[in-house]
Amino acid sequence: MHIKLTTGKTLDISEGESLLQALKRHDLYLVASCGGKGICGKCRIRLIEGKSRIESTGKLEPREIDSGIVLACQTFPSEDIIIDIPKESRLVVGDIIEISRSRDLFELFKSLDTKISPLVRWISVDIPPPTIQNNIGDLERLKKAIEEKGLKGMRFSHGFLSSLAKSLRDADWKVNLAYTYGPEAIFISRHESKDRYGIAVDIGTTTIVVYLANIADGRVIDVGSTYNSQIRHGDDVITRIIYATEGEGLNELREAVVSDINNLLIPIVEKHDIKIGDIESVVISGNTTMSHIFWGFNPAYIREEPYIPTLNIFPLWRAGTAKLNINAQSPVYTVPCVASYIGGDIVAGVLASKMHKNSEIALFMDIGTNGEIVIGNNEWLVTAACSAGPCFEGSGIRHGMRATEGAVESIKINPQTFEPTLGVIGNDKPIGICGSGMIDAITEMFLTGVIDQKGRFIKGLNTDRIRESFEGPEFLFYSDDRTDIVLTEVDIENILRAKAAIYAGISLLLKKVSFTLDDIDRVYIAGGFGNYLNVDKAIIIGMLPDLPKEKFRFLGNTSVAGAYLCLLSDNMRKEAEEIAHKMTNIELSVSRRFMDEYMSALFLPHTDMRLFPTVEKLLKNRK
Ligand code: FES
């Protein structure tokens, strides 16, 4: 059987295979937030001709069904078919994406007043060549020479020894030996190079960011980023864990992330005329699930009570083991994790924020695909993951999407006419709403009286933008001959749940350490969201605490910043390990008090208005 696309392409499909699986097999990826379970409603395609068995229509509206829209994951063709894939359903992965660069990382490193001490050290040795009289083996000869230089107890792996004989002779017995912790010999080079390279990698659930640095002087040479190709198999860590436990899932996920990193590196090294084999060290920072998948470990138990990962502190393994296309012997350091839902990305974040060095009490928030919070200072650190979910990246929201071309990112609603004005990324036709657009939408609808404190639509307003759909009431933000963009009451409920989880997490963590919001001196916001989050509006909806604006600092991608610091310095790696050791993880999902805090935070901005004095004042003035 065949699938014909309106673009002219024809693909084969097997009996019993879903459209989503068949398209995936041909490297055509659709947005599949729920991983093909028929729940998210994102894998919409239009059936133009041909018969199919349709198992479920999930979240599709009757008028969409009437116009031939089906869910690709729930559609099983029984004859040749013709389909059209709408732009909003296409998943673009593998492309290099523009992300805002983190702060000047070199400046950050210099501000720490620590010296450069990378993972790899070098020693030059002149080895007396063998003769008939002096005929000890190559390894014994090398050992003797380095011990004479005062370096004792060096270990040598099988991999190192397999190329030793040739390397020594090629270098005419004058060699530069690279070694790492242990000490352990890792490779031999003929030349002493001034330029030495390393990469710091942030493996996010949604994006992957690579910084190439000269580790001799600390300069950042270039940056590359792409969507994590694992999003083909679902948006959040839970969907990925489930996928990893099915058939070849773990290998597929692992290959996806490793080839993303390899593919990002190729154009960077070519541009700067660097040999990829000269990259001599790597630091990886990611949440616990991403770190497990990168190293090929089954993350299944991260999801099951009592939520135990295989490991939190990763040994120093080699690039060859990780299947990275650089020098196979290069060491790969993984920023330590704390628990199943507090990973190396958060440890790296705390390291980059420097909150663990100051006496002031800081609140660190990483709002990305999930939401993690750390509160503390140079004496103590408590942390929690608050299961906010990836709704601000579009998951679970009917017309939600990531902040890419075509996403509505800002909204204003006229308080008299209720007509919205939209700001769209790329100034293109809108195709969906991203996280900042959602926060704007809720704020505007709340302030103009379109929705009440519970996020319910107010009845009887003089506008036909509020209308009834099969899922209940919705607000129409945009309409053209092909698409309507709405926020439904169910979407609003999902956004309120996400923001309530974040606020409740902060509230409960503070109570656990007997502090109040007034004790917080500084709020650090990290993660993709951190780059374009409007603090005022995030306070109005009750996602961020109502604190003076000058207390908030945006740090961008602190996961890659922390990885970069670890790439350059022994002290930084030690500090990362101390942070991971010091952090007390509070498991919120089993806490009754978390449920109480969460229920109170489900309102706009909160049931207790005393916690949001500036919003209370704003609402009074409006009235
Ligand atoms: S509904 Fe098809 S992937 Fe989610």
CATH classification of the domain holding 295:
3.30.420.480
- Gap between the Cα atoms of 28 and 11, Å rounded: 10
* Statement to judge: residues 49 and 132 lie in one domain: no
User: What's the gap in Å between 436 CA and the centre of ligand 1?
Assistant: 24
- Is 425 among the domain residues? yes
Q: Are 312 and 337 in contact (CB under 8 A)?
A: yes
Are 281 and 315 contained in the same domain?
A: yes
Q: Ligand 1 centroid to 58 CA: how many Å?
A: 8
User: Does 16 have pLDDT greater than 80?
Assistant: yes
Q: Is residue 577 part of a domain?
A: yes
Kindly give the number of the ligand 1 atom that is closest to the alpha carbon of 74.
2
Quickly count: other Cβ atoms within 10 Å of residue 12's Cβ.
11
Whether 328 and 204 map to the same domain: the answer is: yes
Residue-wise pLDDT tens digits, 476-504? 999 987 778 999 999 999 999 999 999 99
Tell me, what CATH number does 48's domain have? 3.10.20.30
pLDDT in tens, 111-133: 988 899 999 999 999 999 999 99
Of 467, 486, 505, which marks where a domain is finished? 486
Element (H, E) at 75: strand 75-77
Of ligand 1's listed atoms, the one at least distance from the Cα of 72 is 2
Has residue 256 been placed in a domain?
yes
**Do 324 and 351 fall within a single domain?**
no
Res 91: pLDDT: 84
Distance CA 46, CA 135 (A): 76
The best mutation among 31, 34, 57 to test binding of ligand 1, ranked by most ligand atoms within 8 Å of the C-beta, falls on 34
Overall number of domains in the chain: 5
Q: Are residues 319 and 454 in the same domain?
A: no
Instruction: Judge whether residue 507 has pLDDT over 90.
Output: yes
Whole-number percent of the chain with pLDDT over 90: 78
> Are residues 381 and 499 both part of a single domain?
yes
Q: Which long-range contacts (CB under 8 A, 24 or more apart) does 424-432 make?
A: 429/480, 430/406, 430/477, 430/478, 430/485, 431/87, 431/88, 431/401, 431/406, 431/407, 431/483, 431/485, 432/88, 432/394, 432/399, 432/400, 432/401, 432/406, 432/407, 432/408, 432/485
- Give the pLDDT score at 530: 53
> CATH number for the domain including 159?
3.10.20.880
* Mean pLDDT, rounded, for 307-316: 96
Cβ atoms within 10 A of the Cβ of 304, count?
A: 10
- Range 135-154 average pLDDT: 95
How large is the greatest C-alpha to C-alpha distance in the chain, in angstroms?
103
Residue 151 near residue 608, CB atoms below 8 Å: no
Asked whether the predicted pLDDT for residue 191 surpasses 80, the reply is: no
The pLDDT of 512-517, averaged and rounded, is 95
What spacing in Å lies between the alpha carbon of 110 and ligand 1's midpoint? 47
Instruction: Judge if 404 and 370 occupy the same domain.
Output: no
How far apart are alpha carbons 248 and 572 in whole angstroms? Answer: 37
Same domain, 414 and 529: no
Looking at residue 529, its pLDDT comes to 65
As a whole number of angstroms, the distance between CA 530 and CA 67 comes to 39
Q: Ligand 1: distance of its center to the CA of 12 in Å?
A: 21
Same domain? 12 vs 76:
yes
Half-sphere exposure of 184 (CA within 13 A, CB side): 17
Given 468, 486, 504, which residue is the final one in a domain? 486
Task: Identify the band that residue 4 occupies on the pLDDT scale cut at 50, 70 and 90.
Answer: very high
Residue among 19, 56, 73, 243 to mutate when testing ligand 1 (max atoms within 8 A of CB): 73
In this prediction, residue 342 has a pLDDT band, given cuts at 50, 70 and 90, of very high
328 lies in the same domain as 212? yes
In a domain, 340, yes or no: no
Query: What pLDDT digit, counting tens, does each position of 55-95 carry?
Result: 999 888 888 898 899 999 999 999 999 999 998 898 876 55
- How does the average pLDDT of the chain come out, rounded? 92
Measure 31 CA to ligand 1 centroid, in angstroms. Answer: 8
Q: Is residue 341 part of a domain?
A: no
Please report the atom of ligand 1 found closest to the CA of residue 38. Answer: 1
Q: What is the pLDDT of residue 316?
A: 96
Atom of ligand 1 nearest to the CA of 33: 4
Structure tokens at 321: 């083991």
Ligand 1, residues at Cβ distance < 6 Å: 32-34, 36-43, 58, 71, 73
Question: How much distance in Å is there from the Cα of 453 to the middle of ligand 1?
Answer: 31
Mean pLDDT of 16-43: 90
HSE on the CB side for 619, CA within 13 Å? 20
Residues 409 and 364 in one domain: no
Q: Which of 334, 363, 379 is the last residue of a domain?
A: 334
Examine residue 63 and state whether it is found in any structural domain, yes or no. yes
Cβ partners under 8 Å of residue 96, min gap 6: 224, 225, 226, 264, 267
Neighbours of 529 (CB within 10 A): 24
Pocket mutation for ligand 1, best pick of 21, 31, 43 (most atoms within 8 Å of C-beta): 43
Instruction: Express each pLDDT in 148-180 by its tens digit.
Output: 999 999 999 998 999 999 999 999 999 999 999
User: Separation of 39 CA from ligand 1 center, angstroms?
Assistant: 6
**What is the tens place of the pLDDT at every residue in 526-545?**
986 655 788 999 999 999 99
C-beta neighbour count of 206 within 10 angstroms: 17
Q: State how far Cα 187 lies from the chain centre.
A: 33
DSSP labels, 177-246: EEEETTTEEEEEESS--S--EEEEEEE-SSEEEEEEEETTT--EEEEEEEE-GGGGG-SSHHHHHHHHTS
- Supply the CATH number for residue 513's domain: 3.30.420.40
3-state per-residue secondary structure call for 367-389: ECCCEEEEEECCCCEEEEECCCH
How far does residue 40's CA lie from ligand 1's centre (Å)? 5
Q: Which of 31, 60, 70, 71 to mutate to test the pocket of ligand 1 (most atoms within 8 A of CB)?
A: 71
C-alpha of residue 33 to centroid of ligand 1, in Å = 6
- Convert the pLDDT of each residue in 368-410 to its tens digit: 778 899 999 999 999 999 877 788 888 889 999 988 888 999 9
Atom of ligand 1 nearest to the CA of 32: 3
| 508 close to 422: Cβ distance less than 8 angstroms | no
Residue 507: which domain range?
346-390+495-622
Residues 252 and 288 in one domain: yes
Q: What integer pLDDT is reported at residue 387 of this predicted model?
A: 79
337 CA distance to ligand 1 middle (Å)? 31
In a domain, 339, yes or no: no
Question: In this model, does residue 350 exceed pLDDT 90?
Answer: yes
pLDDT at residue 600 tops 60: yes
Residue 94 lies in a domain: no
Q: Which of 21, 39, 45, 55 to mutate to test the pocket of ligand 1 (most atoms within 8 A of CB)?
A: 39
* pLDDT at residue 87 in the model: 86
